[in-house]
């Protein structure tokens, strides 16, 4: 492509809310075979809500909301906001937290009212030596309904099962269809539960899911997909998406996301509208075709 055609192409893209930070990206984008998306905050709104709370014998809903809500006040994860909001809306008290610990990709733990609380994925509880089998069937049912199951332990006893659900962005189904219409494969990369991720992917017609990825595992997931499918673009919004945005052949950052994601990307989707991905690819084809 000539410098002029690239200028015209990137100019047209900008009018559609797609900002090319590097002109070469337009040429690379044309050869992409698969688009991988981060889930939370990219395919979904990134604003989960608590949908279910199942309490074990010997614990009350109110106590769980106080203990879990107080602990999650200290976390910045979107899941924490869902639990805090539920605790507040049911009028649960806030309590002091000591020994707070966040384990990225696992969950949180700390001491509340003299009790040791652990909240997180099954692997977080396993790591703390807590058996979750009593709630395994319920958790599976919730995950198949596209909800994220989280376990709560109090003094190493399984105390509750919480589910949160994160609504899909309005633009997501259309954006995925447009990519399929261009003949591309679509993948999802997430730290979320395998079954939850599969349920969401199947609702959206996503071809490939890589789930239960730890925060530093996204680059390896990109590499695996690249080996299987070829040139890969990755779209993400978070701080922990920055390495994957750099290591993909093309990184597209959601403009409403973190500054670090935007700085690591080749392309920025200004409004967060995922239709920008297919638009950018459409323009890359047009520009390269027109000048041969």
d(CA 142, CA 71) in angstroms, rounded, equals 23
Torsion of CA 112, 52, 164, 65, to 10 degrees: -20
d(CA 251, CA 262) in angstroms, rounded, equals 9
Q: Which is nearer to Mg ion, 9 or 41 (CB)?
A: 41
Judge whether 266 counts as a catalytic residue.
no
Q: 43 — phi, psi (to 5°)?
A: -75, -35
Candidate residues 18, 29, 41, 211; the one interacting with Mg ion per rule CB under 5 A: 41
Q: Which is nearer to ligand ADP, 215 or 282 (CB)?
A: 215
Please give the full DSSP string across 85-120, using - where no structure is assigned.
Answer: HHHHHTTPPP--EEEEEEETTTEEEEEETTEEEEEE
Residue nearest to Mg ion (CB): 41
Adjacent-strand bridge partners of 233: 35, 250
Q: Which is nearer to Mg ion, 41 or 149 (CB)?
A: 41
Are 155 and 141 a contacting pair, CB within 8 Å? Answer: no
Candidate residues 5, 10, 40, 172; the one interacting with Mg ion per rule CB under 5 A: 40
Please tell me the total number of residues recorded for the chain in this structure: 292
Residue 106 contact among Mg ion, ligand ADP, none, beta carbon within 5 to 8 Å by kind: ligand ADP
d(CA 90, CA 221) in angstroms, rounded, equals 40
Q: Which is nearer to ligand ADP, 39 or 185 (CB)?
A: 39
Candidate residues 52, 122, 166, 237; the one interacting with Mg ion per rule CB under 5 A: 237
Catalytic residue among 31, 38, 57, 63: 38
Residue 191 contact among Mg ion, ligand ADP, none, beta carbon within 5 to 8 Å by kind: ligand ADP
Kindly tell me the sign of the dihedral angle through the C-alpha atoms of 128, 133, 138, 140: positive
Residue 171 contact among ligand ADP, Mg ion, none, beta carbon within 5 to 8 Å by kind: none
Are 276 and 292 a contacting pair, CB within 8 Å? Answer: no
Residue nearest to ligand ADP (CB): 191
Residues that bind ligand ADP (CB under 6 A): 39-40, 72, 75, 77, 79-80, 104-108, 119-121, 148, 150, 190-192, 215
Q: Which is nearer to ligand ADP, 104 or 167 (CB)?
A: 104
Is 38 a binding residue for Mg ion by CB under 5 A? The answer is yes
d(CA 186, CA 209) in angstroms, rounded, equals 9
Residue 110 contact among ligand ADP, Mg ion, none, beta carbon within 5 to 8 Å by kind: none
CB of 237 to Mg ion, least distance (A): 5
Residue 237 contact among ligand ADP, Mg ion, none, beta carbon within 5 to 8 Å by kind: Mg ion
Walk across the sheet containing 157-165 and list its strands: 49-55, 157-165, 148-154, 115-120, 107-112, 97-103
Show which residues are catalytic. Answer: 38
The binding site for Mg ion (CB under 5 A) comprises 38, 40-41, 237-238
């Amino acid at each position: 492509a000539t410098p002029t055609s690239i200028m015209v192409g990137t100019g047209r893209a900008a009018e559609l809310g797609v900002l090319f930070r590097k002109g070469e990206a337009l040429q690379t984008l044309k050869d992409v075979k698969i688009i991988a998306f981060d889930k939370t905050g990219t395919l979904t709104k990134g604003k989960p809500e608590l949908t279910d709370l199942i309490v074990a014998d010997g614990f009350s809903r109110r106590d769980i909301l106080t203990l879990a809500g107080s602990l999650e006040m200290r976390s910045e994860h979107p899941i924490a906001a869902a639990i805090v909001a539920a605790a507040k809306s049911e009028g649960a008290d806030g309590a002091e937290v000591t020994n707070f610990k966040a384990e990225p990709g696992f969950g949180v733990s700390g001491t509340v009212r003299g009790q040791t609380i652990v909240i997180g994925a099954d692997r977080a509880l396993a790591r703390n030596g807590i058996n979750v089998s009593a709630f395994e069937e319920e958790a599976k049912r919730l995950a198949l309904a596209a909800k994220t199951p989280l376990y709560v332990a109090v003094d190493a006893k399984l105390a509750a099962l919480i589910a949160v659900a994160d609504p899909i962005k309005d633009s997501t189904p259309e954006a995925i269809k447009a990519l399929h219409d261009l003949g591309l494969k679509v993948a999802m990369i997430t730290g979320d539960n395998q079954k939850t991720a599969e349920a969401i992917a199947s609702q959206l017609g996503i071809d490939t899911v890589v789930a239960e990825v730890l925060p530093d595992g996204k680059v390896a997931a990109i590499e695996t997909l690249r080996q299987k499918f070829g040139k890969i673009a990755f779209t993400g919004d978070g701080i922990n998406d920055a390495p994957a945005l750099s290591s993909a052949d093309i990184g597209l950052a959601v403009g409403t996301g973190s500054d670090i994601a935007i700085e690591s990307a080749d392309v920025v989707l200004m409004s967060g509208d995922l239709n920008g991905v297919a638009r950018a690819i459409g323009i890359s084809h047009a520009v390269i075709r027109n000048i041969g």
